[in-house]
Structure formats: C-alpha cells, structure tokens
Structure 1
Amino acid sequence: MASITLSHIVKQYGDGFPAVNDVSIDIADGEFIILVGPSGCGKSTLLRMIVGLEDITSGDLLINGERVNDKAPRDRNLAMVFQNYALYPHLTVFENIAFPLRLAKNKHSEQEIRDRVTEAARTLELTEHLDRKPANLSGGQRQRVAMGRAIVRHADAFLFDEPLSNLDAKLRGQMRSEISQMQRRLGVTSVYVTHDQTEAMTLGDRVAVLKKGILQQIASPRELYDQPVNLFVAGFIGSPSMNFLPAAVDGGVLQTPVGEIPISADKAQAAAGRPVVLAGIRPEHFEDATLVDPAKRSRGYTFTAQLTHSEWLGNEQYGYISFDPSAEIRQLLEGLARDMDAEELRPQIVVTLDASSRIRGGRPAELWLDTRRIHLFDPETGGNLTRDAEAGRALTSEAEAARKEEIGLARERQRVRVQG
C-alpha cells in the first residue's frame, strides 16, 4: 500500500502547451481517487506521469514519501489497468494473470505464482475460467482478468485508465460495483481516470475535477455536488446539469426569467454590488407544486411557467422551460458548454418532477422551488459567491470516516470468507 503525493506537477510539451498545469494532490494510503473532466483536460496525462509513462516537466511526485520522478515504471511498483484490457489472446486466463510474476524471472516460485493467481481468481470470481482464452470471455470477465493481473503483483497502488468505457451501460454498472468492492476488500490505493461522472460520483472517496490541465476542485462527491467551487464544477457534476439563470439582486429578491425569487439575507449580501449574477439551481430542487406538502411549500417559492415539453422516465420525469437571455449571458453559457465538452447549454430550465405529476408541455403549470438550495455565481470569474466552505469540508470529512469504516468491514468479510 502507498500514499501518493503530487506537488505542483506540470507537463509541458514541445509547443509550450501545459497539458497539466501546477496540480497538487495528496492521496492517502488506501484512498480511491477519481480524476475526471472533459476530453483534453489532462487527466490521462496525469495518470501516465504517476505510472512513469510520461516525463514530468516540473514538480515532484512522491510515493510513500520517496521522490520517484526519475524512476522507471517497473521500479515504482504500480499496477495499471488499461481501457483495452491488454490481454494476451494466446494465453489462458491463468497465464494472463500470472504474466507479471513470470516476467520477474526467478523472483517467484511456481507454487507462489499458483497461490497468488488462485487467490486473485477467487477474489474476482474467475476460478472457473482459469483455463479459458480471452476470446471466450465476456467484456466484464476480460476486465476482471486485467484487474487480476494487477492484484497478483501486490502493487502499492492501482491505476485505472477509463477501464469501463468499452462496456455496455448495464455491464458498466455491474463492473463499477465490482471494482468498488474489490478496492474496499484490498484497501489498496487507487487512482481512476474517467470522463463519466456517474463512475466518478459512485466510485471515488474524493474526486479531482480538471479543466484544461488545471485542478478546479478536489473533494468528496457530495461536497462537489452540494458545494461546488465554481461554475465549471457546478455544471460538470450532476445529470441533468445545474440550471444557470441570469438574475439581478434587488434587496432580498432575485429578479429572474421565472419571476422574483426570495433569497436569504446572507445570499443577498454575498451578491451585493454585482449588476448580474447567475443563479445555479439543480433540476431536483424543483417540484410540481400540487405535490408539495403545505408546510414545506411555505419554505420555498411557487411560480407559474409553461413547459415546452416533458419526458416521462418511469421513476421520474423532466420538464423544460425556455427563457430568452441577453446576448452576454447566451455567450457565457456557450463558453461554459465548450469548457465542459458539452454540445451546448441551452437557455432553458430543466426541472425534475415526480413520476405521478400530471404536468405536461404546452400549458401553464404551477411549480415549486426550494430557494434554500440556490447558489449564486459571479458571471465574470465563475466563482461561487454563496459556497459554504465549512459545510463542504464537513461533507468530505464524513466521507473519509465512512471510507475507513467500509474498508474495515470489507476486510472482515473477506477474512470470514477465506476461513470459511
């Protein structure tokens, strides 16, 4: 097991472009860290620098406190799991898993190799497939073989480079669960690159959000979601994305395309002096007003709007409200969409409604908004004016305590299973 420290890491190519720009992250022993961001944000480059496949232009990379910038990949004792599995088609599952042990010639006895492969196969439920070839396995089984090869090395850390992107949606969900449970059982430090925010939010103890090579925020998934540091993180994390409404602050009221929304005094104070702010509201903080308990309804804002259309998904439904922003706000939304590698951020509000709601597109509807959950952003800097940093830190501390407890429980379950 290992701790990994990235201190002011920079990767600059020959044209002077900094693919990774001054990134500092402390990864604790046994922690599961996710690197996430749109295409070209530097996440895979950062992973390749950790494993030694890319040179570091400047900064320090430490594994267990030892600087390893100049160490070859084979000397860092890190195991990498690739997107394309990198299995040898002519070798059996057993030999594919055993390959890194055989590569270290004369270092491991035949019995030790067999014991390690057998244990890894049992952990990954591959025991029945050890004599098969990769071509005869499903995508999920091949990915487990690739992980088995990492496990037998007894590496200090696992590095995952978008390992599930080649799988279909259902199998990705299954493999997410398997990777999460395996990481908890082994308690091994893991760094995982993905562009899929669902993977990031469900797998990571902490998630590092990157944009154009610059670290935007690193925190627990819940802190990123509830207390984003800026517009980019707020818009990138969450599906459907956070709504951004242009607003002017007038005393304790936000003047918005859907009416005058009352806000608390501290939010109004945070936005004071700015002619325009962007109100960030997540879709699930709206609801069909007719379905909201009267006591709760009084703690929010009720308004009437006409949905252009709605989408019923069975367990919930989405409604869409269009609005006409100024040219400046439209340009800002288009720029934010480019940063997030999204097609566009339309000037519309997405609302999540209960599946039982009878609201439909084309006619006026009464909607309710939880005003306590509104964030206000500076449209010029992108900064979150109403972020509660202390509440955010508490969420990440809570996640850290839960991680330690989960690892303890997972190891106990593994011990009982092995003994049984």
Structure 2
Amino acid sequence: MASITLDHLVKKYDDGFPAVNDVSIDIADGEFIILVGPSGCGKSTLLRMIVGLEDITSGNLLINGRRVNEAAPRDRNLAMVFQNYALYPHLTVFENIAFPLRLAKGKLTEAEIRERVTTAAATLELSEHLDRKPANLSGGQRQRVAMGRAIVRQADAFLFDEPLSNLDAKLRGQMRSEISQMQRRLGVTSVYVTHDQTEAMTLGDRVAVLKKGVLQQIASPRELYEQPVNLFVAGFIGSPSMNFLPATLEGNVFRTPVGDIPVVSERAEVARGRGVVLLGVRPEFFEDAALYEPAKLPHGTVFEADLTHTEWLGSEQYGYINFEPTPQVRELLQSLARDMDAEELRPQIVATLDADSKLRGGQRARLWLDTRRVHIFDPGTGENLTRDAEAGAALTAEAAAVRAEQIARAAEGVPTA
C-alpha cells in the first residue's frame, strides 16, 4: 500500500492553458479519495498525472515519499480501472484478469498466477464466470473483471476513472457498494474520479472539489455539505442544489424577494455593512409550517410564498418558488451555472416537503425555514461568511476515525455497515 503526495502539481498544455493549477493533496495510506467537479475541471487529467499517462509541468508527485515525476507508469506500481473496462474480447475472464501477471514474464509460476486470479475472482463473485468471454457478461460483471485485473497486480494504489458511468442507475448503486466494501477489505489506497454526486458523497473518506484546474476544498463529504468554503462548492455539492437567495440586511432581518427572514444576531453580524449578500439555503431547511409543532417554530421563521408547482416522490416532495432577481444577481447565477457546467441556475427556490404535505402548485404556502442553518455568501468573492472551519474539521476527523475502524474490522473479517 502507499501514501501519495501531490505537491503543487501543475499541468500546462502547449497553448499555456493550466488544466491542473497548483494542486496539493496528501493522500494517506489506505485512504479513499474522490476527485469531483464539472466537465473540464481537471480531475481526469490529475488522475492521469498520478498514474504517469500525463507529464507534470511543475510540482512534485511522491509515492511513499519517493519522487516519481519522471518514472514510467509501469514503475509506479499503480493499477488503473478505466471507464470502458479495457478488456480483451478474445480472452476469457480468467485470462483477462491474469493478463498483467503474464506480462511480468518469469516472475510468477502458473500456480501462483492461478491462485491470485481465483482469489480475486472469489472476492468479486466471478468464480463461476472465469471461462466466459467479456461479450457474454453484463456491464457490472465486466466492471468487476477490470477491478480483478487491478487486484491481482497487488498494486500500491487503485486509480478509478469514472468506472460506473456506463452502467444503468440500479447497477451503479450495486457497484458502488461493491467497490466500497472491496476497498475496506483490501485497505488499499484509492483515488476515484467521478462527476456523480451520489458516488462522491457515498464512497470517499475525503472529496476533493475542483474548478477549472484549481482545488476549491478537500474534506469529508459531510464537511463539504455542511461547511462549504465558497459558493461553487455549496452549489456543486448536493442534489437538489443549494438555493441562493439575494438579500439585504436591516437590523437582524434579511429582506429577500420571497419575504423577510429574521436570523440570530451572530449570523446577521457577518453581513452587516455589505449591501447585497446571497443566502445559501438547502432544500431540506424548509418544511410545510402546517406540519410543524409550535415548539419547534422558535428555531426558525415562517413565511408565505406562491408555489409554482410540486413534485411528489413518494418519500418526500419538492415545492418550487420563483423569484425575480436583479440584473446583477441574475448574472451571478448564470456565471455560477457556467462554472458548474450547468445550463442555468434558475431564480427559484426548491423546498423539500414532507410527503404528507397537502401543499400543491398554484397555492399560497406557509413554509417554515430553519434559520440556524442558513449560509451567507459574499457575492463578489464567493466566500462563505458563516463557515465554521473548526466544526468542519471536526466532521472530517470524525469521518476519518469511523473509516479507520471500519477498515480494521474488515481486515479481521467482521462485516461493516
């Protein structure tokens, strides 16, 4: 196994464009790191720099403390699992898995190769498919074969380049679980590139969010969600996305296009004297006021707004509220949408409501908002003015401790949740 250090890595192409721009990450031995961001943010380029398929313009890449900038891919002892599986159609599952071992001619006996392949196949539940060809396998089985080829190499780290993007939604869910459990059992250092929110939030110990080649924040999924460092991270992490509502402060009350929102003085203080700010409100911060107990209402505020429509999903429903932004705010939302590779960020609020709520589109709704959890952003710099760095660090430390315990239990053969 290995630790991997990215020390101010830069990748510039011939036209001078920095696809990766001064990225520094310390990846601990056995850690599972996710690289996430919109298309063109540099996440796949960064992965290819680690494995040796892209040259490093400047900075240092260290594996177990050894600088490997100029080392060939075969000398880094890293195993990569590609998006398209990269299987040989004329070879059986057994021979596909054994292929990297046969390349190292003379290093392993046939018995040793067979032992490694059968062990990996058992781990991935492929034992009964070893004599089949890739064309006769499902997408999930092919992905497992590609992972088996990485396992038998006994590499120091696994690198995954959007390995589940070709699978349907149900199969992606199954494979996420399998990859997570396998990584815990093996305790192998892993770097995983994805654009999928669910993969990023469920798989990694830490998630690195990239924007235009620049690392925005690296933290546990929960810290990213609860304590985002800026507008981009807040808007990119979470589905549905965080709502951004323009507001001006008067006293301890924010005047917004959907009504007045009073907040505690500590929250209001960071916005005082700043003019227009953006309130960051997650959809789940709302609820139908008719369903809330009066004792809980002091922790937030109730306001009225017109719902344009609702979407009922069974376990919950979404309510939509449109608002009219100023030209400045509209341009800010469009700029943020471009950064996130989205078509647009509409000037609307999405509120997650209880499935039992009777609110429907076209109605005037009374909504409760938990004002203790509202974020306040500087629209000019994008900075989260209410971020609690200490609380965020505690969330990441807690996640690291839980993960270490899970890996230890997996190594002892004890099932983990």
**TM-score range for the pair, normalised by the shorter chain length:** over 0.9
Q: Are 1:19 and 1:42, in contact at CA under 8 Å, matched by a contact in 2?
A: yes
* Matched residue type, 2:46: L
Percent identical: 80
The 5-angstrom pairing of residues 123-142 of structure 1 reads 123-142=123-142
SS class of match (2:412) = helix
Mapped pair 1:191 → 2:212: no
| Number of the residue aligned with 2:371 | 371
Q: How far has the Cα of 1:414 moved from its partner?
A: 6.9
TM-score of the two chains, using structure 2 as the length reference: 0.99
* Matched residue type, 2:163: P
What is the alpha-carbon root mean square deviation over aligned residues? 0.8
Distance 2:251 2:414 in 1: 59
Distance 1:82 1:54 in 2: 15
How many residue pairs match? The answer is 415
The 5-angstrom pairing of residues 11-50 of structure 1 reads 11-50=11-50
The 5-angstrom pairing of residues 14-413 of structure 1 reads 14-413=14-413
Distance 2:199 2:2 in 1: 23
Distance 1:129 1:118 in 2: 11
Q: How far has the Cα of 1:350 moved from its partner?
A: 0.4
Question: Runs ≥4 in structure 1, deviation > 4 angstroms?
Answer: none
Structure 1, residues 131-152: CA drift from partner, whole Å, max 9, x if none? 1100000000000000000000
Q: Are 2:260 and 2:303, in contact at CA under 8 Å, matched by a contact in 1?
A: no
Distance 1:368 1:413 in 2: 47
Q: Are 1:158 and 1:191, in contact at CA under 8 Å, matched by a contact in 2?
A: yes
Distance 1:22 1:266 in 2: 35
* Matched residue type, 2:74: R
Structure 1, residues 41-71: CA drift from partner, whole Å, max 9, x if none? 0000000000000000000000000000010
Q: How far has the Cα of 1:111 moved from its partner?
A: 0.7
Q: Are 1:303 and 1:367, in contact at CA under 8 Å, matched by a contact in 2?
A: yes
Distance 1:225 1:349 in 2: 18
Q: How far has the Cα of 1:253 moved from its partner?
A: 1.1
* Matched residue type, 1:404: A
SS class of match (1:361) = coil
TM-score of the two chains, using structure 1 as the length reference: 0.98
Structure 1, residues 388-410: CA drift from partner, whole Å, max 9, x if none? 00000000000000110110111
Q: Are 2:316 and 2:353, in contact at CA under 8 Å, matched by a contact in 1?
A: yes
Instruction: Structure 1: give runs of 5+ residues left out of the alignment.
Output: 416-420
Q: How far has the Cα of 1:298 moved from its partner?
A: 1.9
Structure 1, residues 358-392: CA drift from partner, whole Å, max 9, x if none? 10010111110000010000000000000000000
Distance 2:9 2:266 in 1: 37
* Matched residue type, 1:181: Q
SS class of match (2:299) = coil
SS class of match (2:384) = coil
Distance 1:265 1:307 in 2: 30
Q: Are 1:287 and 1:354, in contact at CA under 8 Å, matched by a contact in 2?
A: yes
Q: Are 1:334 and 1:344, in contact at CA under 8 Å, matched by a contact in 2?
A: yes
